[in-house]
Amino acid sequence: MDSPGFSSLDLPKMEKADLGFFFPEFEGFITDCKFNGCLHSHEPHCGVKKAVQQGLISGDRYQNYLAFLEEVTQQERRY
């Protein structure tokens, strides 16, 4: 994600596990994840990652999700 002039995003405080619910296109695929609490980043057998690979979810949207996930992770470390 290229955001000139911004070093971080201004996201509301939230849990990492809740972020995927803010991406409505993930909704039909989250139930295909093998693990409860899947963050859709590095876990095996992830329904969201599979949908991205199949072109059912935009790769750009998924990259945005990963950037937001990193920001939420950074926020958790600060609090």
pLDDT along the chain (79 residues), means of 10: 49 84 95 94 97 98 96 83
Tell me, which fold does domain 16-78 have in CATH? Ribonucleotide Reductase Protein R1; domain 1 (1.10.40)
pLDDT given for residue 66 in this prediction: 97
Compute the half-sphere exposure of residue 16: CA atoms within 13 Å on the CB side of its CA. 17
The domain ranges of the chain are 16-78
76 in the Ramachandran plot: left (φ > 0), alpha (ψ -120 to 50) or beta?
alpha
Q: pTM of the full predicted structure?
A: 0.81
pLDDT given for residue 10 in this prediction: 65
pLDDT given for residue 15 in this prediction: 86
